[in-house]
Structures are given as structure tokens and as C-alpha cells.
């Protein structure tokens, strides 16, 4: 079941610092203690409320990606550079003096997840345990309109020049068509969908319609990817995305099974082949330092796939399906941890490049480019992207 266009949380997973014990907890975004040392062991009830009520968070929408920070001062994962706004505050879009680049204090999803694990050591409860979804956050009343080749802009006629009859870019180039939310539910009913959200059996995409399964357990067979009942085995012998691994007193490492099918496309535009599957792990070590590691578990990061920018035709090979069964090689049973899957497509043209290529816009002489296509020569945004999907995490809790 694919649900689109829903706002479930703010774009950034904000860890607010304006907690007031006298204020009722009835607002959409609960007040919480900050992460600067004011949390105390007797605040576990607040942590429990956050974990209970904040079940999903938006990892992607038309303003960009909130998975993780990437910059010269924090170059851990180059894929974190995906679809980032060029300003730290959204006001920077309109006020030049506020236009500062994104910083490592923006509190992305990975930071929140790791901070939750750190706080668990203090409070006995992890307050930050959201699953992931994607959304559009569009202002044109068209939920699910996320195809890069059919992008109409997110604000109606706000960015249209003239009467709109002439070819032009429909929006500012830093915006994107947005993402999708996917829920696994027994039925397509309000009750079943709500239950799926409560148990965090959900994932987000950057707009592509990848089909993603992610299970964690203690004894999946190594040939599980060849099984016709892959999902049934995952439910029987483990937990799905959004779940918590059952307590395991032995020192055996957890095993994760991930399966992904490419977007099959439509009559208007074909789907893009998959490139690889990754598992992202986060934990807190003995010194209290937050750690993370990204593992490639299926596919080929060096498959040579690229895009012909003149035609936006893909070049190179990919995979219609990828699957992997992976055991954490660095597992330490004393460390609480989270794991989630990230699936990457081969490169494809970003929405503005499709329009620019179709209208044969070249930037050899930017001054000669019509105002309607000025965004084609904006070097702050890429011409190609790697669409992706993010599963909700699975959590491991160390034995008491």
C-alpha cells in the first residue's frame, strides 16, 4: 500500500529545548528536554511518551533529504549529499543575509537515532525511535505527483513566467517533486493503515516506486533470497522494518534480509534499474561517542552506470531485483544499535535536466540563456540524481 502526500512530522527531526512541565502535551509536536545535559534519569516518562507517540518521521520531501549531513567537516558518507537545500534556514531562500549553507547542527535523522541510543544509557528508555516515510509537501493539491519527468512545481503558478504557455522551468531548481510513503498493512482500511504506522512498518522513497522488504532476526538461512516465501520467512523467524529484535542472550550477531524490486515505470516513463543495497548501522561505543557505518550488501557500486545528459537516456547495466542476507561483522552484544536499509537506483536525470535537455538549453554562454531556463545553468544543483528508498530502522537492545 502506497500512501502519499502526508505530513507526519517536520522535515528536520528537531530536538526542541523549550520544555515546560506546566504546559499540556496536546500540541502536534511534543515539547521535550534538550540534548545539552538537562535530561535526567527521572525524565524517563518523557522519553517513553516521545517513543510512544512519535512513530514516524519524514526523511524526504520536496524541500530535500533529512537522512544525514554531508559537508567538508563531516565526510563520512558521500551519499548524504543527496538533495540538500543550499541554505541552512528556509528563510535563506528569501533573505540573502540569512543564506548560510547547511551545518552539522541541523539534527538529521541519523543524529536523532544515535542521540536516542545515547540517552537510553541515561534514561533507560530510547526517546527517539521513529520509522521513516517520504512525502510531497506540495501546494498544488496533487499528492503522489513525484515523477521527475512530469514535474509541475510545488507552488502552482508562483514560479511561472508570463501566461505559462511557453516552455520553462516550473519551479526553483533546488526544489524536487518530493517523495512517497509506503505502509505494509493487512488491509487497505483506516484501522489497518493506522496500525502499520504505529508499528512503524513503513518506508520512504525519494519519489521512485521501489518495492522494499527489510527483516532482522537471529537465524535467517543464507539462501533466503532464493526462497519463494521470502516475506513469510522474515515474519516467522524475525521482525520487519520498524521492529525491535527480541532479546538474545547468546553472543551471536543479528542477521538482516533485504529485498528490493525496481520501479517498473509507466507508459510515460520507464523505471530505473537498481544499483545496490546498503545497511546503515548506528551505535554508541564504550566512551559514549556516537558511531555509524554503512555496508554494501548487494549490487555493485562500481557498475559504471551513467546518463547521456543530451537525451537523458541511461547508459550501463543495473539490476531489476536485488537481495541480500547480511550478518553484522562488527557486532558487539554490549552496544545498543539501530539498522536500516538504503536502496539506490542507477543515476538518472534530475527533473530540471530533463526539461533543459528537451529544450536544447546549453550553458556555454549563460547570459544568452532565456530567463525561463536560467535554472538550467545553476551549478548548485546536480544534473543527475540517484533515486532511493529508506526502510524504517530495526533496533537491537543489549541484554540488561
What confidence tens digit (pLDDT) does each residue in 180-202 have? Answer: 999 999 999 999 999 999 999 99
In 3-state terms, what secondary structure has residue 399?
Answer: coil
pLDDT at 249: 66
339 backbone φψ class: left, alpha, beta (φ>0; ψ -120 to 50) = beta
Low-confidence ranges of the chain (pLDDT < 70): 1-42, 71-75, 92, 104-106, 249-250, 400
C-alpha cell at 387: 533515486
For the chain, what are the domain ranges?
2-396
Q: Which helix (H) or strand (E) holds 286?
A: none
pLDDT at 14: 44
pLDDT at 75: 55
pLDDT at 262: 98
C-alpha cell at 197: 504506522
Are 17 and 36 spatial neighbours (Cβ–Cβ below 8 Å)? yes
Residue keyed to cell 541480500: 324
**Residue 400: which residues within 8 A CB-CB, separation 6 or more?**
none
Tens digits of residue pLDDT in 288-339: 888 999 999 999 999 999 999 999 999 999 999 999 999 999 999 999 999 9
pTM, entire model: 0.89
Closest CA to 129 of 245, 250, 2, 244: 244
Question: Rounded to an integer, what distance in angstroms lies between the CA atom of residue 400 and that of residue 395?
Answer: 15
Helix axes 44-53, 109-123, angle to 10 degrees: 140
Question: Rounded to an integer, what distance in angstroms lies between the CA atom of residue 137 and that of residue 143?
Answer: 8
Angle 117-123-127 from CA coordinates, rounded to 5°: 50
Phi, psi of 352 (to 5 degrees): -70, -30
Q: Which residues pair with 269 in a beta bridge?
A: none
pLDDT at 5: 38
C-alpha cell at 324: 541480500
Q: Are strands 255-261 and 321-327 parallel, antiparallel or unpaired?
A: antiparallel
Angle 277-115-129 from CA coordinates, rounded to 5°: 65
Alpha-carbon dihedral 51, 54, 55, 56, rounded to 10 degrees: -140
Alpha-carbon dihedral 372, 378, 380, 385, rounded to 10 degrees: 70
Amino acid at each position: 500500500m502506497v500512501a502519499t502526500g502526508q505530513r507526519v512530522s517536520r522535515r528536520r527531526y528537531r530536538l526542541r529545548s523549550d520544555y515546560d512541565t506546566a504546559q499540556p502535551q496536546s500540541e502536534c509536536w511534543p515539547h521535550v528536554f534538550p540534548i545539552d545535559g538537562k535530561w535526567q534519569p527521572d525524565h524517563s516518562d518523557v522519553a517513553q511518551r516521545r517513543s510512544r507517540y512519535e512513530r514516524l518521521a519524514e526523511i524526504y520531501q520536496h524541500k530535500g533529504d533529512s537522512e544525514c549531513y554531508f559537508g567538508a567537516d563531516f565526510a563520512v558518507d558521500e551519499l548524504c549529499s543527496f538533495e540538500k537545500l543550499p541554505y541552512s534556514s528556509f528563510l535563506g531562500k528569501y533573505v540573502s543575509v540569512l543564506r548560510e549553507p547547511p551545518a552539522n547542527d541541523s539534527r538529521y535523522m541519523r543524529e536523532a537515532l544515535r542521540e536516542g541510543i545515547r540517552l537510553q544509557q541515561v534514561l533507560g528508555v530510547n526517546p527517539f525511535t521513529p520509522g521513516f516515510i517520504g512525502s510531497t509537501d506540495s501546494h498544488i493539491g496533487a499528492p503522489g505527483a513525484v515523477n521527475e519527468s512530469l514535474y509541475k512545481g510545488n507552488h502552482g503558478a508562483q514560479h511561472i513566467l508570463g501566461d505559462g504557455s511557453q516552455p520553462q522551468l516550473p519551479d526553483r531548481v533546488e526544489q524536487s517533486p518530493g517523495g512517497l510513503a509506503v505502509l505494509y498493512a493487512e488491509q487497505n482500511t483506516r484501522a489497518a493503515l493506522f496500525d502499520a504506522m504505529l508499528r512503524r512498518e513503513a518506508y520512504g522513497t525519494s519519489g521512485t516506486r521501489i518495492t522494499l522488504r527489510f527483516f532482522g532476526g537471529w537465524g535467517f538461512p543464507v539462501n533466503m533470497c532464493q526462497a519463494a516465501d521470502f516475506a513469510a520467512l522474515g515474519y516467522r523467524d524475525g521482525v520487519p522494518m520498524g521492529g525491535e529484535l527480541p532479546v538474545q542472550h547468546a553472543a551471536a550477531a543479528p542477521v538482516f534480509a533485504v529485498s528490493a524490486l525496481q520501479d517498473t515505470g509507466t507508459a510515460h516513463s520507464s523505471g530505473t534499474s537498481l544499483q545496490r543495497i546498503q545497511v546503515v548501522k548506528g551505535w554508541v561505543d564504550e566512551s559514549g561517542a556516537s558511531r555509524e557505518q554503512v555496508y554494501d550488501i548487494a549490487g555493485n557500486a562500481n557498475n559504471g552506470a551513467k546518463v547521456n545528459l543530451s537525451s537523458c537516456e541511461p547508459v550501463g547495466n543495473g539490476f531489476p531485483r536485488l537481495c541480500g542476507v547480511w550478518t553484522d561483522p562488527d557486532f558487539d552484544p554490549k552496544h545498543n544499535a539501530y539498522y536500516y536499509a538504503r536502496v539506490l537506483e542507477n543515476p538518472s536525470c534530475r527533473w530540471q535536466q530533463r526539461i533543459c535537455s528537451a529544450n536544447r538549453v546549453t550553458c556555454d554562454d549563460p547570459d544568452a540563456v532565456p530567463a525561463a531556463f536560467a535554472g538550467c545553468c545553476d551549478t548548485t544543483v546536480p544534473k543527475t540524481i540517484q533515486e532511493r528508498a529508506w526502510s524504517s530502522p530495526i533496533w537491537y537492545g543489549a541484554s540488561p
